[in-house]
Structure formats: structure tokens, C-alpha cells
Amino acid sequence: MKVAFFDTKPYDIPGFDHFAAGTDLEIKYFETKLNEDTVSLAAGFDAVCVFVNDTVNARVVEKLYEGGVRVIALRCAGFNNVDTRACFGKIHVYRVPAYSPYAVAEHAMALLLTLNRKIHKAYNRTREFNFSLAGLSGFDLHGKTVGVIGTGKIGRIFADICRGFGMNILAYDKFPAANSGLNYVTLEELLAKADIISLHCPLTEETYHMINDDTVEQMKPGAVIINTSRGALIDTESLINGLRTQIIGGAGLDVYEEEGDLFYEDQSTHIVHDDNLVRLISMPNVIVTSHQAFLTQEALNNIAQTTVDNLVRFSKDQGNQDTEVCYRCERQDACRKQRHEKCF
């Protein structure tokens, strides 16, 4: 099986080379992202491997199919960048649903701790031998209320970490996790009571811009927002307005809704023309990291192993139903995925 690997970074290659050794996979690494302009590179390949900022819309899907691609392997959990309906009946799509929930949950807490205790500011000061404590005050996490929006594996692990700090936990999820022990409340109650709000839900039509002008107005004044999920969960203009009016006390962001052409690349010698991102980074109570929450060695190995396994099993006509996405085919009365069968 010939695999076109898009948006390749140096940390991707060792793990994939290791787990693909001894298999029938022949991987060609491309540094460029997959989109309408680059899809021709996949012609003649059996599969493509893509990441979060690759664009796999209906036109790209059609070109991939025409070029012989029959499987898309996402080396991530989210698949909002793939038009799954366009793929149905043509190209199978697999993902890595749980590469390391601990990595992402721990990064969310790292953002919160850094933002609250001004670690980034203290680090920069002491490198210049400035040991003043002025402006470095934070608050105790113990006794504070954290609202966890989205209680999949990552959200539940983040809640466990917060519980270890002695925090009170409120949870919101359209589909509450059974036997989780979490205190589920309405979104309105969570927003009104939470000192910290952490987003751990997927990006869907329902969750798009769930943090907006209306929900910001419902927040407890001074609430801190943490987002390690998907950037478009937050309306950036609403976030900036909330920070400016001090309804929002701070934001720790590992994702940004317009990150596609910026994140994962060195922009230090360029003028960034995204005014909203520039405004956010310039704010003293905002921390932005470049979608790195997943980036631990354990996670990279799990991603490579699961992705290679998905491709190998597909090549042997043994597709893994646990990792194949739902194509929203609207055949719910006869859903093959629920019967653990190939969707098509």
C-alpha cells in the first residue's frame, strides 16, 4: 500500500518509520498540507495520511478518489476538517480516537497554572535578573469551581486532575458519561458558577462558536477560559470583547479558529496579518501555545502505532470499526457501524 503523508514534521517520521517497518506500507512524506492546490500529489497512491490543518473538503475527496485513493488515515482524534459525507461510499476514513488523553489534559492544567501564577512572566524576568514580585499575584485553585465542557476521556481526566487540586467540578455534556461521578449541570448553570471553564468537546455544527457574545454574558465575572480542543469552539471576537470588558479574566489557548496557515510553522520572521491573533498574544492575561497539547513521546508513538494499524488492517480488508469515523449517512435504522460492520 502506497501512502502519501501530508503536513510532515520532523517529529512524525521516526515513529511512523518504526511502526511501518515490516509491513506492506510504503510511505512518501510531503511537507506541504493537503488541500485543493496540492491534492494532485496524491495521484497514484492508495492512501493519504493527514493531520488537523489539512483540508479534505468535497472537491479534495473527489480528486483523491479519482487518483486512486481509497482510505484516509487521520493521525488525530478530530475529523472536522474532513467532509465525511463526501467520503461515504468512496473513501474510508479512520482516526486515532485516544492517542493520549493524559497529554492533552495535562497541557490544559499547565496552561491554567502558568496563566494563573504568571510563570511565563516570572521566567522572562528572572532571565534578566529581575526578581520583583510586582504583578505576579494569582489565586488558589483549591476551593475554586471548574466547569468542564465535554466529558470524554480527556475531559474526565482533566476533571480528575482538578479534583486532586481540591477544586469543585461542574460538568456539561449533551451525552453524560455513565458512572463518571461527575456533577452534571446545564450549560447556563456551569457558565454562571465556574471560576475556570475548560473546553474538551469536539467541533461540530452544534458546538461551533459555543463561546459567543451570549454565553460570555452568562459567565461569572473574571472567569478563566482554557481551550485545548478546537479553536472554532470560541468566537474570537467575542473572546476579545470579553477580555477587554474583563468579564473574562484570562484565556489559555492551545488552539485558534484561524490557525490553519499559522500554527506548526515558524512565523518569527514574518509579519502576521491576523489582527485578532496579534491582539490576543499581546494581552497580558492570555497565553497561546501552538496546538501542542498532544505533543508527548507517548502520544506520538500511540498516534503512529494506531494509524499504521488502521492502514494495515484496511489493506487486509480488516477495517477497524472502532476507529472508523461516522459518515452521517442518515441510515440510523440500519447503521452498519453500530453492528460492527464495514460502513460500505
**Mean local confidence (pLDDT), 175-202:** 96
**Binning pLDDT at 50, 70 and 90, where does residue 169 land?**
very high
Residues 235 and 267 in one domain: yes
d(CA 201, CA 75): 18
Spell out the residues 6+ positions from residue 33 whose beta carbon is closer than 8 angstroms to its own.
6, 7, 53, 54, 55, 260
Q: Which of 111, 138, 109 has its CA nearest to residue 287?
A: 111
**Contact between residue 200 and residue 228 where contact means Cβ atoms under 8 Å apart:** yes
Q: Is 214 in the same domain as 196?
A: yes
Mean pLDDT, range 178-194, rounded to an integer: 97
Rg over CA atoms, the chain: 21
Domain housing 119: 101-288
In what helix (H) or strand (E) does residue 275 lie, and over which residues does it extend?
A: helix 275-282
| pLDDT value at 307 more than 80 | yes
Residues 10 and 54 in one domain: yes
- Sequence-distant (6+) residues with CB within 8 A of 289 are 107, 111, 253, 254
Confidence at residue 335, expressed as pLDDT on a 0 to 100 scale? 76
What are 33-90's pLDDT values in tens digits? 999 999 999 999 999 999 999 999 999 999 999 999 999 999 998 899 999 999 999 9
Among the ranges given (119-123, 132-136, 335-339), the one the predictor scored with the smallest mean pLDDT: 335-339
Claim to verify: residue 204 and residue 309 sit in the same structural domain: no
Domain tally, the chain: 2
Higher confidence at residue 332 or residue 140? 140
> Position of cell 440500519?
334
What average pLDDT score do residues 179-201 get?
Answer: 97
C-alpha cell, 344: 460500505
Residues 146-168: tens digit of each pLDDT: 999 999 999 999 999 999 999 99
Q: Which residue has the higher pLDDT, 330 or 314?
A: 314
Residue 343 and residue 298: Cα distance in Å, rounded? 31
Instruction: Tell me which of 29-43, 130-144, 220-234, 306-320 is least confident.
Output: 306-320
Based on the domain organization, do 92 and 116 belong to the same domain? no
- Buried (b) or exposed (e) across 189-206, using 16+ Cβ within 10 A? ebbeebbbbbbbbebeee
Average pLDDT of the chain, as a whole number: 95
DSSP structural state of residue 249: E
CA distance 108 to 225: 10
Please report whether residue 343 resides in a domain: no
Is there a single domain that holds both residue 15 and residue 161?
Answer: no
Whose CA is closest to 198, among 166, 241, 177, 167?
167
CA dist list (Å): 124 to 119, 127, 128, 284: 9, 5, 7, 13
178 falls within a domain: yes
- Work out the widest C-alpha separation in the chain, in whole angstroms: 67
DSSP 3-state assignment of 55? coil
| Mean pLDDT within 111-121 | 97
Instruction: Report the CATH number at residue 38.
Output: 3.40.50.720
Whether the per-residue pLDDT at 341 is higher than 80: the answer is no
Residues 219 and 319 both lie in one domain:
no
**Domain contains 143:** yes
- What was the pLDDT predicted at 151? 97
Cell 469536539 identifies what position? 202
Inform me whether the pLDDT recorded for 201 exceeds 60. Answer: yes
pLDDT at 181: 94
Confidence of residue 318 (pLDDT cuts 50, 70, 90): confident
> Within this chain, do residues 89 and 217 fall inside the same structural domain, yes or no?
no
* Residue 333 banded pLDDT, cuts 50, 70, 90: low
Rounded percentage of the chain residues whose pLDDT exceeds 90: 90
The bridge status of strand 168-172 relative to strand 196-199 is unpaired
* 286-288 sheet: strands from edge to edge: 168-172, 145-149, 196-199, 223-227, 248-253, 286-288
| pTM assigned to the model | 0.89
Residue 202 contacts residue 150 (beta carbons within 8 Å):
yes
> Could you tell me what percent of the chain has a pLDDT over 70?
98
CA-to-CA distance for 188 and 195, rounded, in angstroms? 14
Q: How far apart are CA 287 and CA 272, in angstroms?
A: 17
Active site residues: 230, 259, 291
